[in-house]
Amino acid sequence: MKEIAKGIWKLTYQTPEKFTPCSMRKSKIAVEELEKIDLEVCQKLPFEEKEIILKTTKRGVTVSIPMQTEEDIYGFGLQLKSINYAGRKRHIKVNSDPTVDTGESHAPVPFYISTAGYGVFVDTYRYATFYMGTNSKKGASSSKKEVNQPHKEFSESALYSLKRAKEQRTVIIDIQGAEGVELYFFAGTVKQVVQRYNLFSGGGIIPPMWGLGIWYRVYGGSKEEDVKKLAEQFREEQIPMDVLGIEPGWHSHSYSCTYEWSSLFPNAQDMIDSLNQNGYHVNLWEHMFVYPAAPFYQKLKDYSGEYEVWNGLVPDFATKEAREIFSDWHRVQFVEKGIAGFKLDECDNSDFNPSNWSFPDTAEFPSGMDGEQMHNAVGILYQEVIAEAFEKQGIRTLSQVRSSGALASSQPFVLYSDLYNHKEFIRGIVTSSFSGLLWSPEVRDCVNETDLLRRIETVIFSPLALLNAWRIPNPPWKQVDINKNLENIWMEKQEYYTKQCRKLLELRMSFLPYLYSAFIEYQRKGIPPVRAMVMEYPDDLEVRTIDDQYFFGKDILVCPLTLEDGMSRKVYLPEGKWHEFFGTAVYEGKAWIEVSAKEEEIPLFVRENALIPLAKPVLHITKETVFEITVLQFGSGEAEFILYEDDFETLEYKQTGVKGIRIYRKENGVVEILDKAERYRFL
Amino acid sequence: MKEIAKGIWKLTYQTPEKFTPCSMRKSKIAVEELEKIDLEVCQKLPFEEKEIILKTTKRGVTVSIPMQTEEDIYGFGLQLKSINYAGRKRHIKVNSDPTVDTGESHAPVPFYISTAGYGVFVDTYRYATFYMGTNSKKGASSSKKEVNQPHKEFSESALYSLKRAKEQRTVIIDIQGAEGVELYFFAGTVKQVVQRYNLFSGGGIIPPMWGLGIWYRVYGGSKEEDVKKLAEQFREEQIPMDVLGIEPGWHSHSYSCTYEWSSLFPNAQDMIDSLNQNGYHVNLWEHMFVYPAAPFYQKLKDYSGEYEVWNGLVPDFATKEAREIFSDWHRVQFVEKGIAGFKLDECDNSDFNPSNWSFPDTAEFPSGMDGEQMHNAVGILYQEVIAEAFEKQGIRTLSQVRSSGALASSQPFVLYSDLYNHKEFIRGIVTSSFSGLLWSPEVRDCVNETDLLRRIETVIFSPLALLNAWRIPNPPWKQVDINKNLENIWMEKQEYYTKQCRKLLELRMSFLPYLYSAFIEYQRKGIPPVRAMVMEYPDDLEVRTIDDQYFFGKDILVCPLTLEDGMSRKVYLPEGKWHEFFGTAVYEGKAWIEVSAKEEEIPLFVRENALIPLAKPVLHITKETVFEITVLQFGSGEAEFILYEDDFETLEYKQTGVKGIRIYRKENGVVEILDKAERYRFL
């Protein structure tokens, strides 16, 4: 075991595979940043190297690590079904519709964090299985001899409920198909392990400021004129809006794709130009399966996989040729012409839905990768290909992707899903934060007006504030019912709901500088801008299973409600004083409280002695946007917040850095702005 | 490729694995029976040997077989979620709660049948994946160039619906972890392929006659006296009942088990004797995980797997020692003392429920098997161990098991499940019939009285007529509501529902000779006693997706209703004339009809020119039972039915054979009984 950076060790076992996240990575380990953080914390793992047992069998490599019964386990990428994996299995297989809690997801990651003070990353694209203390070794229970104890409950759920056993357990990692492997161990608290993993992955991204604004995906049946009309309508109605996403219909053929404009968009460039002039950023839907009529089909054929998907080629993004063909086409045809980002659909896989699309695990690719590896890798590879088109132009993007995986923190992409349970979408915000992933709980179909508001309340406190109206030609605040929306029939109270939605979207816009600063911390320190409570309060046993409250930026605890919750919910406040953001009440923590919230309200709590810079909401971000900032104060102790500024959109910060503006308050003092700002004006 | 029996070829590729269904099988191929059947049918496969492509990669062995777009695909063992796998994946992994349609189930089998006239069995215990024409080879679509076609529907379900493509497809079989493999190919129609597979597996079982009677699993909290009281009550109330099943509470410790009577059953032997005297057969619940207090724990320790399950040892049934320890204990302690069968629970596995119990796939076993192989094998191995205890006594059993797999037709076990959707339970009857499996859609919790009747109607026309009352101390016809049943509060119309249930159970009893004869055909010809319609009418495209009608014995088409159906359903009748069993109507087939059925009625249709021997229902089977038979006649053409008789309970038939009694009718003639019967009296 070799220490490769501060608090990070590598263990190499026999001959690792050729295609792994680390062997294929483009990002570099942020070694300097790793040196800077957490000088005071424990740099040791809670077990000896000799306790890690590695074996090779015909199936592959098996790793065993001792596990104590009190350890709680987090990570494994985006997980929509549960948060704490102590006593459970996780199967790291990318899958588009994981309707059951197996570990499969759009973005599973072979990385976990234990509350025992360590994390493990397994450098593999194989469908590894992690048994997180599901079993004890033979004989561990031999002293048990209780007999004739009465059975208490007779139900299936009682029989198979998860019980925490008292015997010494084992973490077993099953890496089928591998002959060797590299493991990375990270020391520290839950948060420190996450930081180290993110910096090991290259640090977090800095999004363009417009990417933090409001996103809207337009109706799938839209023509050019419809998009322009909608864009004008948003401005007229003073609805904040930064990004318009255009769905499959822009391709002259989709499922699979041509990457050329269809006859529905006869003057596409005019449309893009006019949208851009009007302050919009345009995002285009696509997937990677290349239809025979696509202009680069023939060129790509030799650099694509053995089987077709939806009649299209599957590019082998592990070859330089396929990367270049794809990336260059996107740069020249779209990025240079004003397109700001893409939505990369269906780069996951499907076992659970009827059509079982995508390529087989056995598929051979020219690079030498097989289908299994490609499935777990392609989300990341595809992101790199598209990101490169922007990097060459020197501009940032923030784009969408439906699959991601290991070492993702430096990819300018946010995950989304077709699945649609609101509680699970909130849980996704929490779980994705452990593994360098960003997740958007997009607003899509809504049962009713309350559901619409509740879902918007969640999405505005997530990494990406996305409304996806692909099934409806009019905004949901005019009509939530799909069929009526298609017939342009408005809801009775559409004016009222337009106003409430506008207010919530404005609330998002007012948090942009605050959130942008959180992203700078993500890049520099690896601290996720939106994150699980257990990262902040790792020793509070109460927070270890909380999957419906989370931190947004430095000091705000978000407690969303869903339609099912009605107008109130339970909230847990950890140690310390907590201030209502919208109200004036102050609570003493380490307590559960009942919180009421009208349909247009979301409970936010602020930590004692926090300064929250709030902007006057703008309708959209421009090159010249200067935010008018009011600093909200909570508590009366010493307090500090650093706002960051730069051009908010290019990659120049990589050379010049990002400037920090220090907002400071002494105990019982007034707030002072200690640096000069250009993009902020303090009120 | 080598013809190993008539219409069956074996293909050996490189070095097959040591542990496979064929290498470990105890049953013998029924070579003589294979010679006898289907003299006239096609003995060819629809492709050349050279079209079967086998490859070895680091992942394992990959097999490709050409597939035409019009082929329909059946098999893969028990499948509760769908019936036809053309265009879909099947993952052959045993799993206790397959809530999604991946192929995983209690009893997945690496065997499929194509309507193109062949079947394939892959001799592996690995979690193989079958891609049944999900993909075309790269370039198959290169001539497609349609662009600017309008998109029609905007919904997730439309996007991912299963569409039958027009390009040449491929069957891809992914056998991870294998270095070589043996494949078996079967020629013929769907039914002939199933027959050949079943005879290849050793032929079907002949159950004891009592096993075809009514089964009842008593309340989990029952004490000895409760069981005896219930047994008396059934006799008093004239409820037909052959088998009483006792749940986990009989063990002095369960989860894991001791295989010794608990203090709830202080005079167990008296109870067994008195139940046996009263004509009951007693079945005991268990699973294979051996608690430290079990008397043979120490003896078994060296012959058990690396990890514990529920604090218990996992016996390695691939070792002679573990088989003997386990089998001998069961023979001496139970079989010799009057126990007639067992319910083998939790020999499947769990990925989908919260506790993720059972051993890891990586677990090592003393025999050399690994956990993955053991999971797919253990259902069968466990059945063999228990069956052996009865074989040594020279008596038959019919028992229950929650997991099965390849080559299962000669195992005297019927599958069951915790899952409980009625439509899926009916589908299980249909799908299990393709792969040598017997399945019981057991009656368990019921929403209301109608649900109870509907579920009984299904179960009495299945291989095992099982009522599972493990959660309720009183029979469900007294109270379907669990909580009220626990409080001994009867339903208002309990007398009425007792009568209706009794009538349905009597209906089952009247079909016993008819069903027993179907089992003889199962043993001799491999024809499943209860089976999918496509086996009888393979060329009728309409039946290829029917998963809620099936054949029961030779000539009866069963069309159960569920609570959701209400009081009528659509029924498809294939070519020919069809007679109502209970009514007098005659229908011309090749047509869908709407059929009404009151809550206590199940629609049955009889083929033209069928003779159905119906028995006067008895309350239970004894050594002396002589059935009083009425032969029902349908149509007026030439007709025949063979009733079989023997001692109905021992294994003597293996030496002496089973006697056939020919019932015959000439065209327009009277029914004649052409052989002398001892166990039947014709009225």
**Residue A48 Cα, gap to closest chain B Cα (Å):** 22
**Alpha carbons A431 and A98: distance in angstroms, whole number:** 15
Tokens coding A240: 């904040």
Please indicate whether, in this complex, the C-beta atoms of B263 and A148 are within 8 angstroms of each other.
yes
Assess whether pLDDT exceeds 60 at residue B470.
Answer: yes
Task: Give this complex's ipTM.
Answer: 0.95
Residues of chain A with pLDDT under 70: 38-42, 165
Of the partner residues A88, A151, A292, the one whose CB lies closest to the CB of residue B144:
A292
Radius of gyration of chain A (CA): 25
Q: What strands, in cross-sheet order, belong to the sheet with B530-532? A: B530-532, B550-552, B556-558, B604-607, B577-580, B586-588
Q: Which residues of A123-160 are buried (b: 16+ CB within 10 A; e: fewer)?
A: bbbbbbbbbbbbbbebebbeebeebeeebeebebeebb
**Alpha carbons A7 and A323: distance in angstroms, whole number:** 34
Please indicate whether, in this complex, the C-beta atoms of B99 and A100 are within 8 angstroms of each other.
yes
pLDDT one-digit tens code per residue, B182-234: 999 999 999 999 999 999 999 999 999 999 999 999 999 999 999 999 999 99
| Minimum Cα–Cα distance from A163: chain B residue | B355
Residues of A in contact with B129 (CB under 8 A): 360-361
For an interface test with A, give the residue of B82, B89, B256, B351 to mutate (most A CBs within 10 A): B351
pLDDT at B167: 76
| Minimum Cα–Cα distance from A223: chain B residue | B150
pLDDT at A41: 62
Please indicate whether, in this complex, the C-beta atoms of A362 and B59 are within 8 angstroms of each other.
yes
**Alpha carbons A381 and A383: distance in angstroms, whole number:** 5
Please indicate whether, in this complex, the C-beta atoms of A138 and B59 are within 8 angstroms of each other.
no
pLDDT at B151: 74
Determine the angle formed by the axes of helices B224-236 and B268-277, rounding to 10 degrees: 10
Q: What are phi and psi of B126, to 5 degrees?
A: -70, 160
Mean pLDDT of chain B: 96
**Residue A138 Cα, gap to closest chain B Cα (Å):** 5
Assess whether pLDDT exceeds 80 at residue B41.
Answer: no
| Residue A366 Cα distances to A303, A307, A381, A383, B135, angstroms | 6, 12, 15, 20, 18
pLDDT at A155: 80
Tokens coding A149: 């104890």
Task: Specify the length of chain B in residues.
Answer: 683
Please indicate whether, in this complex, the C-beta atoms of B357 and A160 are within 8 angstroms of each other.
yes
Of the partner residues A87, A101, A177, the one whose CB lies closest to the CB of residue B58:
A177
Residues of B in contact with A354 (CB under 8 A): 88, 101, 160-162
pLDDT at B355: 78
Residues of A in contact with B102 (CB under 8 A): 351-352
**Residue B20 Cα, gap to closest chain A Cα (Å):** 15
Listed as own residue / partner, the contacts of B271-277 with beta carbons closer than 8 Å and 24 or more positions apart are B271/B224, B271/B227, B271/B228, B272/B337, B272/B338, B272/B339, B273/B338, B274/B228, B275/B227, B275/B228, B275/B231, B275/B244, B276/B338
**Residue A530 Cα, gap to closest chain B Cα (Å):** 27
- E strands along B83-222, which residues? 89-91, 108-114, 118-122, 129-135, 169-176, 181-187, 214-217
Of the partner residues B155, B311, B354, the one whose CB lies closest to the CB of residue A161:
B354
Residues of A in contact with B370 (CB under 8 A): 57-59
Q: What are phi and psi of B415, to 5 degrees?
A: -80, 155
pTM of whole model > 0.90?
yes
DSSP states along A565-625: GTTEEEEEE-SSEEEESSS--EEESSEEEEEE--TT---EEEETT-EEEEEPPPSS--TT-
Please indicate whether, in this complex, the C-beta atoms of B306 and A100 are within 8 angstroms of each other.
no
Are residues B127 and B60 in contact, defined by beta-carbon separation less than 8 angstroms?
no
| Minimum Cα–Cα distance from B264: chain A residue | A148
Instruction: Name the residue type at position A283.
Output: N
For an interface test with A, give the residue of B122, B356, B416, B445 to mutate (most A CBs within 10 A): B356
For an interface test with B, give the residue of A53, A56, A59, A174 to mutate (most B CBs within 10 A): A59
**Alpha carbons A359 and A346: distance in angstroms, whole number:** 11
- Please, which pLDDT band fits residue B351 given cuts at 50, 70 and 90? confident
Residues of A in contact with B89 (CB under 8 A): 351, 356
**Residue B355 Cα, gap to closest chain A Cα (Å):** 4
**Alpha carbons A381 and A403: distance in angstroms, whole number:** 10
Of the partner residues B221, B255, B292, the one whose CB lies closest to the CB of residue A154:
B221
- Please, which pLDDT band fits residue B39 given cuts at 50, 70 and 90? low
**Alpha carbons A636 and A624: distance in angstroms, whole number:** 35
Residues of A in contact with B292 (CB under 8 A): 141-145
Residues of A in contact with B363 (CB under 8 A): 135
pLDDT at B38: 66
pLDDT at B168: 82
Are residues B119 and B109 in contact, defined by beta-carbon separation less than 8 angstroms?
no
Q: What mean pLDDT is predicted for residues B94-105?
A: 91
Of the partner residues B137, B155, B307, the one whose CB lies closest to the CB of residue A307:
B137
- Please, which pLDDT band fits residue B419 given cuts at 50, 70 and 90? confident
**Residue B564 Cα, gap to closest chain A Cα (Å):** 23
**Alpha carbons B240 and B234: distance in angstroms, whole number:** 7
Instruction: Tally A–B CB contacts below 8 A.
Output: 243
pLDDT at B40: 60
Of the partner residues B102, B151, B364, the one whose CB lies closest to the CB of residue A220:
B151
Q: Which residues of B547-571 are buried (b: 16+ CB within 10 A; e: fewer)?
A: bbbbbbbbbbbbbbbbbeeeeebeb
Please indicate whether, in this complex, the C-beta atoms of A148 and B262 are within 8 angstroms of each other.
yes
Cα torsion angle, A585, A588, A594, A599, sign: positive
Q: Which residues of A444-481 are buried (b: 16+ CB within 10 A; e: fewer)?
A: bbbeebbbbbbbbbbbbbbbbbbbbbbbbbbbbbbbbb
pLDDT one-digit tens code per residue, B514-572: 999 999 999 999 999 999 999 999 999 999 999 999 999 999 999 999 999 999 999 99
Task: Specify the length of chain A in residues.
Answer: 683
- Please, which pLDDT band fits residue B42 given cuts at 50, 70 and 90? low
Of the partner residues B101, B258, B351, the one whose CB lies closest to the CB of residue A89:
B351
**Residue A290 Cα, gap to closest chain B Cα (Å):** 10
**Alpha carbons B467 and A399: distance in angstroms, whole number:** 56
Residues of A in contact with B151 (CB under 8 A): 220-221, 248-249, 254
For an interface test with A, give the residue of B247, B308, B369 to mutate (most A CBs within 10 A): B308
**Residue A656 Cα, gap to closest chain B Cα (Å):** 45
Phi-psi region of A189 (alpha: psi -120 to 50; beta: other; left: phi over 0): beta
Residues of A in contact with B261 (CB under 8 A): none
**Alpha carbons B416 and A626: distance in angstroms, whole number:** 68
For an interface test with B, give the residue of A131, A255, A356, A370 to mutate (most B CBs within 10 A): A356
Tokens coding B354: 């919260």
Q: What is the 3-state secondary structure (H, E, C) of A533-546?
A: HHHHCCCCHHHHHC
Assess whether pLDDT exceeds 80 at residue B643.
Answer: yes
**Residue B648 Cα, gap to closest chain A Cα (Å):** 36
**Residue B74 Cα, gap to closest chain A Cα (Å):** 16
| Minimum Cα–Cα distance from B91: chain A residue | A351
Closest CA to B66 of B80, B48, B84, B79: B48
